[in-house]
Amino acid sequence: MLEFVAGGVCAPKGFAANGVHCGIRKNKVKKDLALITSDVRCAAACVYTQNLVKGAPILVTKEHVKDGYAQAVVVNSGNANTCNANGVQIAEEMCALVEKYTGIKQEDVIVASTGVIGMELKIDPIAGGMEELAKGLASDEKHSSSAAEAIMTTDTVKKEAAVSFTLGGKEVRMGVICKGVGMICPNMATMLMFITTDAAITPQMLQKAISDDVKDSLNMLSVDRDTSTNDTLSILASGLAGNALIDAENEDYRTFCEALHALTTEMCRKLAADGEGATRLIECRVKGAKTKEDARLAAKAVVNSNLVKAMIFGADANGGRVMCALGYAGADLDPMKIDVAFRSEAGYLPAYREGSALPFSEDFAKRVLSEKEIGIEVDLNGGEFSATAWGCDLTYDYVKINGDYRT
């Protein structure tokens, strides 16, 4: 039985975390350096941005996890360490500092950065803050939250969660922290996400689990049609729960994947709801598709449409914009079979049936679309496959935030 629990990345056995302000950010109130460590060397797996322009930390992390193992994660915010001539050197020096103050080998450290692209990242503040960061490591909810806070950029709320489940009679826990509310577009969604678990699982099965999961979680998330340069999802598995090693696609593996998906989809909702300038979360659920890929294409097209996003911001039930997005999604569908409806806590509003608009009360429609969470229900009536995508509305504040992001 899956249960959400407290503790974030510190919920699983053997993990500690911390976050501090070291001076990368001018704002001394905001933390800007985070560290997650494990008592033991862990099976490790990662998924990265598909943008050809990649942050230096990704290049370093790829080398460090090439053998399928890691023991720590170090992250800075306020500077992406991307498009910098000495970026790889700085990323390696960050890992070396982790070794200096924790004893964890430099090559067993995953490194990530987030913030402004094209600004040189100085090692001095990181070097000055690493001792405090390492000394303050602890295995509790407070310190997981501290790490979650330190990786935030334009996020307005911390994002973390943890779940408990059972494998072969052993309690297993999995925790997560993440950030990202801008430059979010599928493949991969723009964000940093760090997952810890005490499950015993091979690096190969761990990689398969997250590579498969992102197809229906992070790759179905969109805020603004921009894919970041630094997106990284990493997962560390300590094995300290004592379950039988997962080394094949068996029942334990499927249970593990269910827990993983529960966490990643929970984070997708949090990331979308906190999109830059956002006032509403959009969840588009598509069913009746001929293939899984058709369902994904259709759902992503809807949440990715600027016109749909603007429509939700204005609480204007213009279902034609949903129909338009479905039409160019690239999915194999029959426009004359499509049903569209809107839902929220205020009620359920059918808008299109078999490709044609339905009459409705404008006052009721306004109430439905004025809630904080808006569902867009699409039935393609062509098959048995389904998919869900998450996004947010497009507001004036999005332009304000990104108009002076660097300065």
- What is the pLDDT, as a whole number, of residue 224? 57
* Structure letter (DSSP) for residue 246: B
Token digits of residue 309: 């996003």
Averaged pLDDT, 261-275:
90
- What is the pLDDT, as a whole number, of residue 406? 58
Which residue type sits at 33?
Answer: L
Of residues 103 and 405, the one with the higher pLDDT is 103
pLDDT digits (tens, 9 = 90+) for 289-343: 999 999 999 999 999 999 999 999 999 999 999 999 999 999 999 999 999 999 9
- Total Cβ atoms within 10 A of residue 358: 14
Q: How far apart are CA 14 and CA 199, in angstroms?
A: 11
- What is the pLDDT, as a whole number, of residue 403? 72
* Helices of type H across 48-158: 56-64, 87-102, 124-135, 141-150
Helix (H) or strand (E) segment spanning residue 212: helix 203-213
Give me the percent of the chain exceeding a pLDDT of 70.
Answer: 94
pLDDT digits (tens, 9 = 90+) for 135-149: 999 999 999 999 999
Fold of 3-273: L-amino peptidase D-ALA esterase/amidase (3.60.70)
Q: State the pLDDT confidence band at 284, using cuts at 50, 70 and 90.
A: very high
Residue 188 has pLDDT above 50, yes or no: no
* Residue 190 is a catalytic residue: yes
Strands 373-379, 281-289: pairing kind = parallel
Q: Work out the angle at residue 176's Cα, subtended by the Cα atoms of residues 171 and 177, and round it to the nearest 5 degrees.
A: 155
CATH number of 281-403: 3.10.20.340
Which residue type sits at 164?
Answer: S
Token digits of residue 320: 């034609």
pLDDT digits (tens, 9 = 90+) for 377-404: 999 999 999 999 999 988 887 777 667 6
- What is the pLDDT, as a whole number, of residue 189? 41
Q: State the pLDDT confidence band at 225, using cuts at 50, 70 and 90.
A: low
Domain limits, CATH 3.60.70.12, in the chain = 3-273
User: 390 pairs with which residues across the strands?
Assistant: 221, 283
Averaged pLDDT, 72-83:
94
Q: What is the mean pLDDT of the chain?
A: 92
Whether the predicted model's global pTM rises above the 0.85 cut: yes
- What is the pLDDT, as a whole number, of residue 399? 75
SS3 at position 69 = strand
Closest residue by Cα to residue 110 from 199, 154, 198, 47: 47
Catalytic position from the list 82, 114, 190, 197:
190
SS3 at position 376 = strand
- What is the pLDDT, as a whole number, of residue 400? 77
Residue 21 has pLDDT above 60, yes or no: yes
Residue 3 has pLDDT above 90, yes or no: yes
Domain limits, CATH 3.10.20.340, in the chain = 281-403
